[in-house]
Structure 1
Amino acid sequence: MASYSSFISDTPSVETIQAISDADVLILKKTKIEELVQTHPNWMEFLKIIAEQEYLELEKRFFQLQRGNAKQRYVTLLENQSNYIQDIPLQYLASYLGITQRHLSRIRKEISF
């Protein structure tokens, strides 16, 4: 996990990442990645794919927050990442969706069967 903009600009990130469950972390310095790109051309293709995926996710998130209401955002999350609903505490889900915990609780109650 890394802030992509921080990675490409060599500046400190404005955000932090915190694991909410056990995780193994592999640290790979940017200089090592640059070395791999120089010695193994397939790494350039790999980095291109990462950049494209990052852009697609950013655009999807932007439009989701801009156009969708809170209920639509929750339903989309439920449809595409149902494991998040079970594993991530309510406060973090609410923050991700851009709503309060109370509003998220009302939405969950409204759509539960």
Structure 2
Amino acid sequence: MEEMFDYILQFGDLNKQQIELIASKATQLELHKDEYFSEAGKVPRYTGFILQGVFRFCYYNNKGEEITNNFVEANSFVVDYPKFEANVASSEYIQAVTDCKLIVFTRKHWEELLNIIVGWDKIVAKIYQKCLLEAIDRRSPLVSEDATTRYLSFIERFPSLANQVPLAYIASYLGITQQSLSRIRRNIR
């Protein structure tokens, strides 16, 4: 839990009682590879802090193809926050790419923290803004770069993922076929 508080305290100050309250509302959750943290068509149940593992955000396009649009690693929060906050069904899946360990908060407990801790809403807003900006920064170059440059950028941004994540997910994230990705990987070795 220490990792989570180290992360949170980058965005604002909390006193000992506030930290103890947050800790009292948290529970641990383990998900196995390929299990879903959140599913399209269902209201997200938790917001979580990843202690170990990797998640991907994905959806199905109108052709029925699965599209990966983000990866989230350890020491980050994971949630479809706009849908969690609004208490409405998500339009995408959040799936464990590896076995994962998280600290999670139910909606009820999260709302209690928002109502009790003065300034918690501002800390949460800063965390969400950081996560959103990171996702945009990761996706923006993918629009204008060629496939090889996209892959090189991917392994630069996610050095640990290249060997943990199935090639199909990486190819989908990069907007290329798995065969193209295999060819690119062969050519740069």
Per-residue deviation, 1:75: 0.6
- Does 93-102 or 54-63 show the bigger shift? 54-63
Q: Under a length normalisation based on structure 1, what TM-score does the superposition of the two structures give? A: 0.84
Per-residue deviation, 1:81: 1.3
Counterparts of 1:72 and 1:58 in 2: how far apart (Å)?
18
Displaced runs of 4 or more, over 4 A = none
Instruction: Select which of 64, 84, 87 maps to 1:10.
Output: 87
What is aligned with 2:174?
A: 97
Give percent identity, aligned residues only.
34
Aligned residue-pair number: 112
Query: Which protein is richer in helix relative to its size?
Result: 1
Instruction: Select which of 124, 140, 165 maps to 1:63.
Output: 140
Q: Under a length normalisation based on structure 2, what TM-score does the superposition of the two structures give? A: 0.54
Structure 2, unmatched stretches of 5+, are 1-77
Q: What are the equivalent positions in structure 2 for 1:42-81 lying under 5 Å apart? A: 42-81=119-158
Query: Which protein is richer in strand relative to its size?
Result: 2
What is aligned with 1:19?
A: 96
Per-residue deviation, 1:42: 4.2
Structure 1, unmatched stretches of 5+, are none
Paired residue type of 1:78: I
Instruction: Select which of 37, 58, 61 maps to 2:114.
Output: 37
Question: What RMSD in Å do the two structures reach over aligned CA positions?
Answer: 1.8
Between the two structures, name the one with larger relative contact order (CA 8 Å, sep ≥ 6): 2
